[in-house]
Chain A
Amino acid sequence: MFTVKQLVFCYPHSKDTTLRGISFSIEKGEIFGFLGPSGAGKSTTQKILYKLLTGYQGEVLFCGKPLRDWDRSFYERIGVSFELPNNYLKLSARENLKFFAAFYPNTPADFMPVLEKVGLAADADKLVSDFSKGMKMRLNFARALLHNPDMYFFDEPTSGLDPVNANKIKDIIKELKAKGKTIFLTTHNMFDADQLCDRVALLHQGGIKAMDAPAELKLKYGEKNIKVITANSAMKEYIFPLENIGKNPDFLKIISQQEVIAMHSQEATLEEVFIKVTGQTLV
């Protein structure tokens, strides 16, 4: 869907290069996560991908055609949900959707199904100025779905949401993937990225430091051990190498003779992978 080759970008009047030759591709039907701390270049990359920033070096292709050659019809093919709520406060949720929907072909006349999906049906006619941040974020999200695009850009889609609504949004993202839609997800939330993304790219100081499926990254950067916790007289922890674990006599003895209360593989979390790769935490 998107192919990015050797993308370099420097803001006018800035001495620093924001993006230093990043390359990646996003396949059709994939959820691609873009992770990185503030200032890593995530927003800049996104702005280039949805044509808000020009003047970059390198090659960006959307559906095989250079992004620069796409006219405004490009925006009929993508849906964007921004990190910060951006709705007209003096309009109701329904009016906001009505306003934005009219710019696209083939949008529904009834906005209740999409409002129901994001849990805002009961507040459809309430002014957005009376909404909480979470409600505004869900309205942002609903707006991106309106015109049924091929590709979605979701920037921190669960930010400011309670766990129930965050799950609702994650379920919708999974549903979109099941329908074959392509999703570019930017998030600080490693748990969300782990749950949702087929592949993630770890961005740091304008460069991609690692890129793979979350499970692969966790295995690659984690320890290939298994931790066993037993509780015979007192709680005790044992660490065994995963290699040939089924033939490890010490391991087999413990699980057959002692009361095992927990057993965990020692793979790294995505956050630990990020720290290992970049030497920095995600802030």
Chain B
Amino acid sequence: MKQFVHLLKWDVVLLNRNRLFILAAAMAAIYIGIFYLIKPLGNLTIIVIVLIYNDPVITGFLFASVLLMFDKNQHMVSAITVLPIPFTFYLLSKTVVLATLAVLSAFVMAFATHGLGFNYFHLFCATFISAFMFSCFGFAIGAVSKTFNQLLLYSIPFFIITALPFLALFDVGEPAYYFLIPSTGGLEILRSAFEPNSFLHNIGSYGQMLIWAAVSWWMAVKATTRLI
């Protein structure tokens, strides 16, 4: 546990040195600016959901894949594997830090647009678990990419597929149509943070989100251990 806390601490330092905190803060500030500009247009809930999912959650994917590419380029993976800690600590520490960053950004954005009137538990779970899941996908895709260009190339179809459940927010099909897509559960829980949803609907969404989180973790571990 002590070693895991140590890893967490240094991952925060490394994120800071790679200026990813500044980048995350700048993006959150831009989105908050956009909210204030479009506030007079009416109900912002759907836009807030889309932007929260786009910014803190999906940037988890980009940050994770980029951090892994940095570590691959610096040959750090082999250095980590000969430490007396399980290799999974390395992945878990980064995903926890990125998911925490996503939660902080999401809460700042939610407070800025909805004040105190939203469900904190749903917002926390949706952003933390979804960011965790997207970070894991980022590790998996980052592990199989040899260059940054290749990473971008692999990311595009992934983003297109995971963006499909956004259509349900705009009443293009029911959420159930997108049930197999990893982002569906997280998006529905995020929606529940701002709009009431049935208990059963939430249970189904949580279940779907947790199953995909477990699958993404398995994929991340599988792909990154192949780098050793």
Contact = CB atoms under 8 A, between A and B. Distances in A.
Nearest to B85: A103
Contacts of A75: 82-84
Main secondary structure of the interface of A (DSSP, over half): loop
B78 A52 contact: yes
Given A52-B82, A103-B84, A87 B74 contact: yes
A178 interface: no
Nearest to B5: A102
B228 interface: yes
B83 A103 contact: yes
Interface residues of B, number: 19
Interface in A86-125: 86-91, 95, 99-100, 102-104
A88 B74 contact: yes
Contact of A82 (B10, B78, B85): B78
B133 to A, nearest CB: 26
Nearest to A52: B228
A78 B76 contact: no
A244 B91 CA distance: 68
Contacts of B74: 85-89
Interface string B86-116: 1000000000000000000000000000000
A145 interface: no
Contacts of A73: 84
- Size band of the A side of the interface? 20 to 34
Q: Most A CB atoms within 10 A — which of B14, B81, B83?
A: B83
A164 to B, nearest CB: 25
A174 to B, nearest CB: 24
A179 interface: no
A84 interface: yes
Nearest to A140: B79
Given A84-B75, A87-B74, A90-B17, A78 B6 contact: no
Given A84-B75, A86-B75, A102-B6, A91 B13 contact: yes
Given A80-B82, A86-B75, A103 B6 contact: yes
B149 interface: no
A143 B83 CA distance: 11
A76 interface: yes
A50 interface: yes
B3 interface: yes
Contact of B14 (A74, A86, A90): A90
A72 interface: yes
Contacts of B86: 72
B54 interface: no
Q: Most B CB atoms within 10 A — which of A50, A102, A143?
A: A102
B61 to A, nearest CB: 21
Given A72-B86, A100-B83, A103-B6, A88 B75 contact: no
Contacts of A82: 75, 78-79
Q: Most A CB atoms within 10 A — which of B6, B14, B79, B228?
A: B79
A196 to B, nearest CB: 22
B6 to A, nearest CB: 5
Contacts of B82: 50, 52, 75, 78, 80
A206 B120 CA distance: 60
Given A50-B82, A52-B81, A80-B82, A102 B3 contact: yes
B75 A90 contact: no
B18 interface: yes
Contacts of A99: 10
Interface in A166-219: none
Interface string A51-83: 010000000000000000000111110101010
Contacts of B3: 102-103
Given A76-B84, A86-B75, A88-B14, 12 more contacts: A74-B84, A75-B84, A78-B82, A82-B78, A86-B76, A87-B74, A90-B14, A100-B83, A103-B3, A103-B83, A104-B84, A143-B79
17 contacts: A52-B78, A73-B84, A74-B84, A76-B84, A80-B82, A82-B75, A84-B75, A86-B75, A86-B79, A88-B76, A90-B17, A90-B18, A91-B17, A95-B13, A99-B10, A100-B79, A143-B79
Interface of B: 3, 6, 10, 13-14, 17-18, 74-76, 78-79, 81-86, 228
Interface of A: 50, 52, 72-76, 78, 80, 82, 84-91, 95, 99-100, 102-104, 143
> Lowest 6 A-B CB distances belong to which pairs?
A90-B17, A86-B75, A75-B84, A86-B79, A102-B6, A72-B84
